[in-house]
Amino acid sequence: MGAQPLRLELYTRPGCHLCDDLKMLCERLAGEFPVQLRQVNIEADPDLKARYDREVPVLFIEGRKAVKYRTTEGALRRLLRRRLLLRRVLGT
């Protein structure tokens, strides 16, 4: 049985080039890591828009805010590795 994928939630809005960049980075790393990416359009939810209007893109890994605006491929790779290691160590 394979490992459960890491849950990634990417808060975005239409027409946001930073959002598109972070989404492509997540999709690229999905070839290396077991991830399940869910994109959330904050424009569709007034509460999310009020909370994250000036912060998108925001990436959550397993429900924890991990990236705001932008990151590098190496930095995101380290975050994903760290989360997988914590999962193994803690059994979560």
Mean pLDDT of all residues in the chain? 93
Confidence (pLDDT) at 1: 39
Q: Which of 31, 30, 33, 37 is nearest to 11 (CA)?
A: 37
Q: Can you read off the two tokens belonging to residue 16?
A: 């946001």
Could you tell me the pTM of the whole model?
Answer: 0.90
Question: How far is it, in rounded angstroms, from Cα 22 to Cα 29?
Answer: 11
Task: List phi, psi (to 5°) of 35.
Answer: -130, 155
Confidence (pLDDT) at 4: 87
Q: Is 90 helix (H, G, I), strand (E, B) or coil?
A: helix
How big is the chain, counted in residues?
A: 92
